[in-house]
Amino acid sequence: MTTQRVHRIAVIPGDGIGTEVMPEGLRVLQAAAERFGIGLAFDHFDFACWPYYERHGQMLPDDWRERIGGHDAIFFGAVGWPAKIPDHVSLWGSLLQFRRAFDQYVNLRPARLMPGVRSPLVRRDGTPRAPGEIDMLIVRENTEGEYSSIGGRMFEGTERELVVQETVMTRHGVDRVLRYAFELARSRPRKHLTSATKSNGIAITMPYWDERVRAMAAAYPDVQVDQYHIDILTAHFVQRPEAFDVVVASNLFGDILSDLAPACTGTIGIAPSANLNPERRYPSLFEPVHGSAPDIAGRGIANPIGQIWSGALMLDFLGYRQAHDAIVRAIEVVLDPANGGPRTPDLGGHARTADVGRAVADALRHGA
Ligand code: ATP
Ligand code: MG
């Protein structure tokens, strides 16, 4: 008899619609586990949300590292309830703690045009793009770069006032995110990698990044590499988003591109993301791009697809690419207007959160 590997997943629904979309994410993971024979064990945690903060005066218990640090992944909903706690307190007290402690140095965001979701972008001839025609993965460096706290103010309050903030790039930090991006590009049919910098304006750190891209490209002769300046790249994203496959950038540029790319493919309710520690020394975290959406929370109408798709990314990371692909196909089946599946109000329908979750799970069971 063989013993099945069981992956332990820490489930943290968080605030607002996080608690409404999470059950649907779990429903679909369960269906995938059954269909593909994947061992998943879910542990639920009630911290990282405002009710916990209200009881304890902090977002996380003191022993949070011990409680979730041994899990294989963290499946997260959303955090933030500005009416009760300022966003910087809820965010710094939870997600950013995880990111730092678990060295999640890759932020990954897929942007794929799905059926029945209108892209705000049309082709130059005015026609819309077909589903799947835009299909890119944004890889953002998540721990260093422009978001450093090195710097400060001098001569404050005088005419000579001077403010400086340093960008920090280390070979370790740059190479590890580039390696991840090259490996990812290699695993995809197009094997195409785009890197964004601004080496003509930021003339010390950005040329260094470019240099490391060229050095690493030598080890990946099968990957086609393009290097762009960030300004022209954003224009290309709008004019010909179908041209991109894997796109890698520093913390700041990656931050901007990872909002721009999902915007090119429609609604925020369906976009997934991952914060990865690719070496698997610590758990990686999977969450929808959207926040807690207080404006629609409690009504059962949030779109659960961002959460469901994030679950697919989690299975891919745990080694189940086939299960990932099947979940994405099941989402496409439900979204395809030809099938008349349920749609939440953000996609122009009248369905409820659970209707969509059930429909995706059914499509998955029936072999999408
Ligand atoms: P963050 O918490 O990341 O700072 P935010 O608070 O600016 O994000 P969201 O909470 O994502 O933004 O909400 C932005 C808008 O999108 C709101 O109007 C919200 O109702 C809508 N929205 C977000 N997620 C969903 C979803 N899953 N389904 C439907 N509408 C959504
Ligand atoms: Mg918010």
Closest atom, ligand 1, to C-alpha of 307: 27
Q: What is the mean pLDDT of residues 78-101?
A: 93
Residue to probe by mutation, ligand 1, list 91, 296, 301, 350, most atoms within 8 Å of CB:
296
pLDDT digits (tens, 9 = 90+) for 37-51: 999 999 999 999 999
CATH number of 1-117+267-367: 3.40.718.10
Q: Which residues of 177-202 are buried (b: 16+ CB within 10 A; e: fewer)?
A: bbbbbbebbeeeeebbbbbbbbbeeb
Cβ of 346 less than 6 Å from ligand 1: yes
Cα separation, 277 vs 18, whole angstroms: 23
Cβ of 303 less than 6 Å from ligand 1: yes
Spacing, Cα 256 to ligand 2 middle (Å):
17
Cα separation, 16 vs 297, whole angstroms: 5
Minimal-distance CA residue to ligand 1 atom 3: 291
Spacing, Cα 261 to ligand 2 middle (Å):
19
Cα separation, 135 vs 130, whole angstroms: 11
Cβ of 290 less than 6 Å from ligand 1: yes
Spacing, Cα 124 to ligand 2 middle (Å):
35
pLDDT digits (tens, 9 = 90+) for 239-276: 999 999 999 999 999 999 998 998 899 878 999 999 99
Q: What is the mean pLDDT of the chain?
A: 95
Closest atom, ligand 1, to C-alpha of 78: 2
pLDDT digits (tens, 9 = 90+) for 314-323: 999 999 999 9
Phi-psi region of 149 (alpha: psi -120 to 50; beta: other; left: phi over 0): alpha
Q: What is the pTM of this model?
A: 0.94
Q: Would you say how long the chain is, in residues?
A: 368
Cβ of 292 less than 6 Å from ligand 1: yes
**pLDDT band at residue 1 under the 50/70/90 scheme:** low
Cα separation, 154 vs 263, whole angstroms: 39
Residue to probe by mutation, ligand 1, list 20, 88, 109, 290, most atoms within 8 Å of CB:
290
The residue extents of the domains of the chain are 1-117+267-367, 118-263
Work out whether strand 284-288 and strand 73-78 pair parallel, antiparallel, or are unpaired.
parallel
Cα separation, 257 vs 196, whole angstroms: 9
Closest atom, ligand 1, to C-alpha of 292: 10
In terms of CATH architecture, what is 118-263?
Answer: 3-Layer(aba) Sandwich (3.40)
Minimal-distance CA residue to ligand 1 atom 31: 269
In sequence order, the 6+-apart residues with CB closer than 8 A to the CB of 183 are none
**pLDDT band at residue 330 under the 50/70/90 scheme:** very high
Least confident of 101-110, 118-127, 157-166: 118-127
* pLDDT at residue 282 is higher than 80: yes
Q: Is 205 helix (H, G, I), strand (E, B) or coil?
A: helix
Whether 118-263 and 1-117+267-367 are alike in CATH topology: the answer is yes
Question: Contact, 242 vs 129, CB < 8 A?
Answer: yes
* pLDDT at residue 344 is higher than 60: yes
| Ligand nearest to the CA of residue 259, numbered in listed order | 1
Q: What is the mean pLDDT of residues 298-310?
A: 98
Q: How many other C-beta atoms can be found within 10 angstroms of the C-beta atom of residue 116?
A: 18
Cα separation, 112 vs 265, whole angstroms: 6
Question: Contact, 26 vs 309, CB < 8 A?
Answer: no
Spacing, Cα 287 to ligand 1 middle (Å):
13
